């Protein structure tokens, strides 16, 4: 499949500088006062509801974590841009939360504004918008799938499969959203975001909307120039992924579906169904994190309500919580050695339990094999 050169991406109405007035869907209309905000902060956009002291645990795949000082949910790219611009205007730091996978929110939560991105529109098109590519249509048989950053990665993959497009089958079993996938160069089964990304549309600040090719994002294993090197991540004023456009090839629909079904079957056979963060550690060179953890005898190890999966050692799971965030009562005694954690039924874990288990795994694996395991999961919020 031919690739679009970086030079083919140009600034235009959708990817060039945008004025604050033009970027706001509420320009010329009233802005609503949000009672949850402290006095002295300018009113937020009227089409966005802001809540205070909202628990983030139900919004993460691990079902742990404390509250956000302020919380808002957006469903359109216009609202997302408006809210980020407003946060800049009032100097309120923000953090974008997608599907809540691969992030470990501290028990203390997040200071600032957490924006849950639920912008999920997906479109399959035969050509790029003319303002983005010189000459418009690319005559190589490719088609393009455009996904908003809040769209589920697996849902995007399924959409491509329905249209007989190949290139994203590997993502059919991947949790999380397009925004996080673009930032982290998500991948599975030998495929990665960088393989088919034509461009990512990114808001670099109020009035600053830019397009980046895969080459410009300088992708490497689970990394891009968009990924913050700060540990932990806290609310701030960073760039926000808005859309991603993938260049895909047409293929026989049945072949694409069968390949994707194989990936799904592999996941169901090898990975736990309990709430988890996804793969916990990056694979070290020429080895697998799961193999090392299992060889260290850590399968089933438990701290509080958090456990190393018996099914796949590179998954840390939260057995006491369902995926809906409700506690599961199994009427079985906890086998944890910490007597203070014992209770009837499953124990609800905390972020500190996850961190303690991460540190135990790192220490044990390094002690036995001399290998330092690097977490693939990003710490978020206030950690001591």
| Residue positions annotated with a catalytic role | 222, 279, 376
Contact 321, 327 (CB under 8 A): yes
Distance, in Å, from the CA atom of 233 to the CA atom of 245, rounded to the nearest integer, reads: 26
Contacts 24+ apart (CB under 8 A), 287-294: 287/371, 288/314, 289/313, 289/314, 289/373, 290/314, 290/315, 292/365, 292/369, 292/371, 292/373, 293/361, 293/365, 293/373
Q: Coil, helix or strand for 162?
A: helix
Calculate helix-pair angle for 153-162, 253-270, nearest 10 degrees: 150
Residue 340's Cβ-count burial label (10 Å; 0-12, 13-18, 19+) is exposed
Q: How far is residue 302's CA from residue 338's CA, in Å, rounded to a whole number?
A: 9
Instruction: Determine the Cα–Cα distance for residues 2 and 147; give it in Å rounded to an integer.
Output: 21
- On whether the CB atoms of residues 311 and 271 are closer than 8 A, the answer is yes
Distance CA 55, CA 65 (A): 7
H/E element holding 71?
strand 67-74
Q: Could you tell me which of 92, 95, 131, 130 has the C-alpha nearest to residue 110?
A: 95
């Amino acid at each position: 499949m031919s690739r679009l050169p970086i030079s083919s991406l140009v600034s235009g109405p959708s990817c060039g500088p945008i004025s604050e007035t033009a970027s706001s869907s509420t320009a010329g209309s009233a802005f609503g006062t949000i009672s949850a905000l402290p006095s002295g902060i300018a009113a937020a956009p009227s089409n966005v509801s802001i809540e205070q002291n909202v628990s983030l645990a139900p919004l993460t795949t691990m079902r742990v974590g404390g509250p956000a000082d302020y919380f808002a949910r957006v469903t359109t790219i216009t609202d997302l841009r408006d809210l980020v611009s407003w946060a800049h205007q009032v100097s309120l730091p923000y953090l974008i939360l997608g599907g809540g996978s691969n992030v470990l929110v501290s028990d203390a939560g997040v200071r600032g504004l957490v924006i849950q991105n639920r912008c999920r529109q997906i479109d399959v098109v035969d050509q790029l918008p003319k303002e983005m590519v010189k000459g418009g249509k690319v005559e190589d048989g490719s088609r393009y799938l455009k996904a908003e950053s809040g769209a589920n990665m697996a849902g995007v993959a399924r959409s491509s499969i329905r249209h007989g497009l190949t290139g994203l089958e590997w993502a059919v079993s991947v949790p999380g959203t397009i925004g996080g996938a673009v930032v982290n160069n998500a991948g599975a089964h030998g495929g990665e975001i960088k393989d088919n990304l034509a461009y990512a549309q990114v808001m670099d600040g109020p009035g600053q909307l830019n397009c980046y090719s895969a080459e410009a994002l300088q992708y490497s294993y689970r990394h891009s120039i968009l990924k913050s090197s700060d540990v932990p991540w806290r609310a701030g004023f960073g760039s926000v992924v808005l859309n991603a456009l993938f260049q895909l090839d047409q293929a026989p629909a049945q072949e694409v579906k069968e390949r994707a079904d194989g990936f799904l079957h592999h996941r169901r056979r090898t990975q736990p169904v309990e709430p988890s963060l996804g793969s916990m550690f990056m694979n070290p060179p020429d080895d697998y994190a799961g193999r090392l953890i299992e060889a260290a005898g850590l399968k089933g190890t438990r701290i509080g309500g958090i456990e190393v999966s018996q099914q796949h050692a590179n998954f840390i799971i939260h057995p006491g919580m369902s995926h809906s965030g409700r506690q599961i009562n199994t009427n079985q005694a906890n086998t944890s050695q910490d007597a203070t954690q014992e209770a009837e039924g499953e124990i609800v874990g905390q972020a500190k339990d996850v961190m303690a288990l991460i540190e135990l795994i790192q220490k044990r694996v390094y002690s036995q094999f001399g290998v330092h395991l690097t977490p693939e999961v990003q710490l978020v919020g206030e950690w001591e």
